[in-house]
Amino acid sequence: MHDSPVPPVIAPTLFLSDADVASLCDWSAAVAALAEAYACPASDAMVPPRSMARGDGIWLRSLTAVPPAGGHMGCKLIAASMRARCASYLIALFNQQTMALSALIDGNRVTGLRTAATAALAVDLLAPRRALRVGVIGAGFEARGALDCLKSVREVARVRVFSPTPASRERFAESFKSVLDIQAVSTAPEAVQDCDVVICAARSRDESPVLLGEWLPAGATVVSLGSTLPEQREVDPVTMDRAACIIADMPQEVLHDTGDAIAAISAGIYIADKLVALADLVAGGVTPRRNASDIVLYKSVGSALQDVVIAQALYERAKQQGLGIALPASIVPVSK
């Protein structure tokens, strides 16, 4: 008589709250996790397009990914009400071997973490190997995260920040004064002047571009984080035209679903032939600059791969530090 196979021991599902995520954030570890993930070949099927269910003034978006490096697969769900002006974010991680539900994570902060860490990864690969002169357009959550993460992986020589609201740009500069040479300036061109890196994380109220290509110095690395939908604008067609290479985390979404690319194509600028996947850059398969004066652009819309990879890193750190709540019950994988 054969012994029945012993079912694997399934660890309890761990719940990580927003406060847990805040305490677990580690910029260098996040960038390293993304670099490892993007260095592994991945098929389109592993990171499919996001989907959206819409009701009357409400929507539910789902983003799913199977990271090629193994470990976990997962999804991020975003439930939002335009009427109530509120949203909830949930990330679920499943073990790729056992299919067990390893973690449920409040995803509120994860979008900011993965956006900043992916941008820092791109800048590290694109910008010159020296202490960087950085211009920031925007003084909100995304701009703050992008600069905070960048200074954790690269030396920053000085920063100039512009926001159309004087109090916001002064607050932003003040918050970094103890660790960076930073100055709030009164115009966007001042922020961009003589910069190695331009971080753009802002949109105007009327969705007109906040960064004009004519302001950019030769050799600049531009990061565009704030416009991810067809109706949104952040950089103008001249910026897209001057870029010798456009790196994108999701190339087809950037090309067809962002207002910046749509406007550039409408202006007769052909960008498809200089669009390159971030994964190809990380793998060393492309040369973004032919000479030091070339301008390059990293255009981000975000992807489930980033969400799941960052969530997995948070989960592993939570286990090491004994954080989170082990749920008393969970789903049970079944034989199929």
Q: pLDDT at residue 8 above 70?
A: no
Task: Give the per-residue pLDDT at 185.
Answer: 98
Q: pLDDT at residue 9 above 90?
A: no
Give yes or no: residues 136 and 251 share one domain.
yes
Give yes or no: residues 58 and 122 share one domain.
no
CA angle, residues 88, 92, 94, in degrees to nearest 5:
175
In a domain, 19, yes or no: yes
Q: Which residues pair with 77 in a beta bridge?
A: 62, 90
Give yes or no: residues 67 and 55 share one domain.
yes
Give yes or no: residues 229 and 239 share one domain.
yes
- The structural domain count of the chain equals 2
In a domain, 208, yes or no: yes
What is the domain-level CATH number for residue 139? 3.40.50.720
Could you count the other beta carbons within 10 Å of the beta carbon of residue 332? Answer: 10
The sheet that has 58-65: what strands, in order across it?
A: 51-54, 58-65, 72-81, 86-95, 101-106, 14-16, 325-326
Name the band, by pLDDT with cuts 50, 70 and 90, for residue 285. confident
Output the average pLDDT for the chain.
Answer: 94
Burial track 51-76 (b if 16+ CB lie within 10 A, e otherwise)? eeeeeeeeeebebbbbbbeebbbbbb
Q: pLDDT at residue 178 above 80?
A: yes
Give yes or no: residues 34 and 79 share one domain.
yes
Q: pLDDT at residue 2 above 70?
A: no
Give φ, ψ of 103 to 5 degrees: -155, 150
Percent of the chain with pLDDT over 70: 98
Q: pLDDT at residue 3 above 60?
A: no
Could you count the other beta carbons within 10 Å of the beta carbon of residue 285? Answer: 10
Task: Give the per-residue pLDDT at 191.
Answer: 98
Q: Mind listing the pLDDT tens digit for each residue in 224-268?
A: 998 888 888 999 999 999 999 999 999 998 999 899 999 999 999
In a domain, 332, yes or no: no
Q: Mind listing the pLDDT tens digit for each residue in 19-74?
A: 999 999 999 999 999 999 999 988 989 999 889 999 999 999 999 999 998 899 99
Write down the H helix ranges in the chain.
18-24, 27-39, 110-126, 141-153, 166-176, 188-192, 237-242, 251-257, 259-266, 278-282, 304-321
Give φ, ψ of 279 to 5 degrees: -60, -40
Q: Mind listing the pLDDT tens digit for each residue in 94-150?
A: 999 999 999 999 999 998 999 999 999 999 999 999 999 999 999 999 999 999 999
Tokens representing 223 are: 């990061």
Give yes or no: residues 210 and 97 share one domain.
no
Asked if 281 and 288 touch (Cβ cutoff 8 Å), the reply is yes
In a domain, 9, yes or no: no
In a domain, 197, yes or no: yes
In a domain, 223, yes or no: yes
Strands, E assignment, 35-146: 51-54, 58-65, 72-81, 86-95, 101-106, 132-137
Nearest to 258 by CA among 236, 227, 235: 227
Give yes or no: residues 223 and 294 share one domain.
yes
End-to-end CA distance of the chain: 24
Give yes or no: residues 130 and 234 share one domain.
yes
Give yes or no: residues 19 and 96 share one domain.
yes
CA angle, residues 39, 43, 46, in degrees to nearest 5:
95
Task: Give the per-residue pLDDT at 7.
Answer: 61
Give yes or no: residues 299 and 309 share one domain.
no
Q: pLDDT at residue 6 above 60?
A: no
Percent of the chain with pLDDT over 90: 85
Give CA–CA dist 80/59, Å, rounded: 5
In a domain, 52, yes or no: yes
In a domain, 334, yes or no: no
Asked if 210 and 116 touch (Cβ cutoff 8 Å), the reply is no
User: pTM of this prediction?
Assistant: 0.91
Tokens representing 192 are: 């961009």
Domain that holds residue 202: 114-303
For 319, how many CA atoms within 13 A lie in the half-sphere containing its CB?
A: 11
Give CA–CA dist 88/60, Å, rounded: 10
